[in-house]
Chain A
């Protein structure tokens, strides 16, 4: 477990915050899609750490900085939202299996709903830096309204196309982020394409239904309540099809949080 300190914890939208934590330089490089278990040091915080996916990671000479985007959804994140700079944090991580990147799949579509923008932004930056080179990324963001479209500044200057959809049409097109997809998948070669998605389960379920007839592969990052983050408590179980098509339980924290979309048994929702 690592101990770090908050450098900022700013509100971006009514229930959305952006936090940065300074950590020792020994903190390992995370892969996009990975997460950490985080809680304030000392006894005042929640009992259990909360899982937050990594939005941004950078290193300086003698330290590392982790950034998170998170929404206040309950008591744990409410307590996180009240923390101020210099507050000490305990962090376990980086944890889980992140997005798998195949170099030959050069047509990459990134889809984020709500706070799903956090790991998707990290992935976009990683792809631009490591793999994609001149290949354009197609990035689609969705949220309830323009106030909840957060984190755009980190991706808007990337070469490629940024497309936005809001439920109320207050920014970008009016509708769901999944409605933007056909523009990018029409006529594409499924063997050269990969979709990466993160967002609410209802969005991902709709995406699964939309993609099923197309044969286009997709990796999704999902969430579930967690206690340990390392596969021990079995609190974050998700039902998936194994290689033989049998329904089995997997842990979101250890076997995920990124899964192939077709492996998840969407009827469990």
Chain B
């Protein structure tokens, strides 16, 4: 079977996220891979399972003032504030470039209001070359929208059902870890019709310059990513995977193939690689090759043999 781009979706690493068929389970996390073209000099984009582009809003957004990032122990804080070119410019200026590649393009959707989520989703659905939508109800660095939606199960349900009503594309809901019980949020998304959930977005944190006694980030707080958050992400993915029936996409501190494999074993059908792209532009390729080598070594036939194979 091949998808509409002729992908090899029957290979050993092939996975399905609802009706979205991917040649392998490795995607780039939104906000860490630009619009794809930034990394094209370093990575053969055709080899990726999917590219998830930077979160898109209806109008362009300037984002937060600098400094926006700070390295912390085994991780980094960011408060970019969803700087993006806006959905219309994305379709006009970025999507034509992405269309030439034999990989799934997933657009990450952000809104300050429900109406904005729906409008952006509609526009992306009408465009040629977007294969799925990821709904960002979890950005911690904007004043309106984002995580304000993602910490309330009723709001998650409303956004999810609304987007499902305006698109025939697979809808992935990206969840925030900044909640008491992430399984409640995942179940709300599932009940409202989400085709999959991805988790986790960054964990809210901060860092202080003790000489100047000011926060390292102009936004004061930011989202923590990188290896520091992997155990938390893994625990949350495991919890969610045991509670929902839709595919779970694991995100959080994945730097290597063994990291990704941990996520598959606890129940993630696919993974997103984020901060690792900054450290090594070829991280995704290394991870794909490492997963393949592991499968050969363990005589694993398909990704399904790995999925949720945790022995407790």
Contact = CB atoms under 8 A, between A and B. Distances in A.
Interface in A200-217: none
Nearest to A39: B279
Interface of A: 1, 46-49, 75-76, 90, 92, 224-228, 230-239, 247-249, 254, 268
B161 interface: no
A232 B34 contact: yes
Contacts of A236: 66, 68-69
A1 B65 CA distance: 30
B63 A227 contact: no
Interface of B: 31-34, 38-39, 41-42, 54, 62-63, 65-71, 74-76, 78, 80, 83, 226-227, 275, 277-282
B76 A227 contact: yes
Given A227-B278, A232-B38, A268-B65, 12 more contacts: A1-B282, A225-B70, A226-B69, A228-B277, A228-B278, A230-B42, A231-B38, A232-B32, A233-B31, A236-B69, A249-B62, A249-B83
A232 B29 CA distance: 11
B227 A47 contact: yes
Contacts of B226: 47
Contacts of B69: 225-227, 233, 235-236
A205 to B, nearest CB: 14
Contacts of A234: 31, 34, 54, 63, 68, 80, 83
B62 A248 contact: yes
A234 B74 CA distance: 20
A238 B280 CA distance: 24
Nearest to B54: A234
By secondary structure, the A interface counts as: loop
Contacts of B63: 234, 237, 249
B75 A233 contact: no
In the A-B complex, list the 7 residue pairs whose CB atoms are closest, starting with the nearest.
A232-B34, A235-B69, A232-B38, A227-B278, A228-B278, A231-B38, A234-B80
A257 to B, nearest CB: 13
Contacts of B67: 224-225
Given A237-B66, A248-B62, A232 B278 contact: yes
A113 to B, nearest CB: 20
A237 B39 contact: no
Contacts of B280: 1, 90
A48 B38 contact: no
B70 A232 contact: no
Contact of A230 (B39, B83, B227, B279): B39
B277 A76 contact: no
A225 B277 CA distance: 17
Contact of A238 (B41, B66, B227, B281): B66
Given A225-B69, A227-B69, A237-B66, A48 B83 contact: no
B62 A227 contact: no
A239 B38 CA distance: 20
Contacts of B42: 1, 230
A225 B218 CA distance: 12
A47 B76 contact: yes
- Which residue among A1, A47, A224, A226 has the maximum number of chain B CB atoms within 10 Å of its CB? A47
Contacts of B80: 233-235, 237
B281 A92 contact: yes
Contacts of B41: 230
11 contacts: A92-B281, A225-B66, A226-B69, A227-B78, A228-B281, A230-B42, A233-B32, A233-B80, A234-B63, A234-B68, A247-B62
Nearest to B227: A47
A234 B279 CA distance: 15
A230 to B, nearest CB: 5
Given A48-B279, A49-B279, A237-B63, A231 B34 contact: yes
B65 A48 contact: no
B153 to A, nearest CB: 30
A233 B74 CA distance: 17
A235 B68 contact: yes
Contacts of A248: 62
A48 B69 CA distance: 11
A47 B68 contact: no
A268 B168 CA distance: 43
Given A232-B39, A234-B83, A224 B277 contact: no
A47 B277 contact: no
A100 B13 CA distance: 47
B36 to A, nearest CB: 9
A230 B33 CA distance: 10
Nearest to B75: A47
A76 B69 CA distance: 14
Given A46-B71, A47-B227, A232 B277 contact: yes
Nearest to B34: A232
A230 B70 contact: no
- Which residue among A1, A226, A228, A268 has the maximum number of chain B CB atoms within 10 Å of its CB? A228
Contacts of A75: 71
Nearest to A46: B71
